[in-house]
Amino acid sequence: MNLKLTLTSLMAALSDELNREIFIANSEGRYSLTFDDISVELYQSHGWLVAESELEFDLASGLNYQQEAALEKVMQQALINVRKNNAIVAINERNKLTLVQRVDSNVSAASFISMINDQVDIAEKYQQLVQQHTLAGSNLNNVWLP
C-alpha cells in the first residue's frame, strides 16, 4: 500500500468533512492546516501518520517562574492525555513546545478526522493553561494603591 496515497485520500476525506477545497501538500509532502488559531502539520513518517501542533511557548530563552508554573500545568495535563489520546508533548527543533500524535497509516478516515479534532482540542486546552498561568502573575495585573 502506498502511504502517500493513503495520506492523500485521508486529507481528501477531511476536506469533504469540512466542506473545503482539497488540501494540497507542500514539497515535503506535509499538510499545514489551521483550526481556531491552532496550526496542525500532518505528514507521514515510517508507517505512521503524524499530527504536530506548535504551542505558543518558546523555551529558547529560558523560563521565568510564571512560565515554569505554566509548563508544569501543561505537563500534568499531558500525563492524563497520553493515555486517552496517545498525544505527547515534546520540544521541537525550534525549541517550541509541541503537541504530537501519531496513528498507524492504515487508519480509517473517521479515526483520522477524530485524531485531528482531538489534536485541536488538546492544543487549545494547553494554550489556555499557558495563558492562564503566565498572565496570572504578569505585570498586566497591577493594583493601584493611593
60: containing domain: 3-135
CATH code of the domain covering residue 71? 3.30.1460.10
102 contacts 86 by C-beta, under 8 angstroms: yes
How far is the C-alpha of 108 from the C-alpha of 16, rounded, in Å? 14
Asked if residue 12 is part of any domain, the answer here is yes
Please indicate, yes or no, if residue 25 is contained in any of the structural domains.
yes
Angle ∠(3,38,7) on CA atoms, nearest 5 = 10
pLDDT digits (tens, 9 = 90+) for 68-98: 888 888 888 888 878 887 889 988 888 888 9
Tell me, what DSSP letter sits at residue 105? T
Q: Per the domain annotation, does 111 fall within a domain?
A: yes
Q: Does 145 reside within a domain?
A: no
- DSSP secondary-structure letter at 41? E
Helix 65-85 crosses helix 109-135 at what angle (to 10 degrees)?
A: 160
Residue 144, pLDDT > 80, answer: no
Q: What is the pLDDT of residue 80?
A: 83
In a domain, 79, yes or no: yes
**Per-residue pLDDT band at 138 (split at 50, 70, 90):** very low
pLDDT for 96-120, tens place per residue?
889 999 988 889 999 999 999 999 9
Query: What ranges in 18-108 are assigned the alpha helix state H?
Result: 65-85
pTM of the predicted protein model? 0.81
Among residues 78, 79, 99, which one has the least CA distance to residue 90? 99
Residue 146 lies in a domain: no
Q: What is the DSSP letter of 136?
A: T
Q: Is residue 30, in this structure, part of any structural domain at all? A: yes
Question: What is the domain count for the chain?
Answer: 1
- With H, G, I as helix, E, B as strand and everything else as coil, classify residue 50: strand
pLDDT digits (tens, 9 = 90+) for 2-59: 555 589 999 999 999 999 999 999 999 999 999 988 999 999 998 899 999 998 876 7
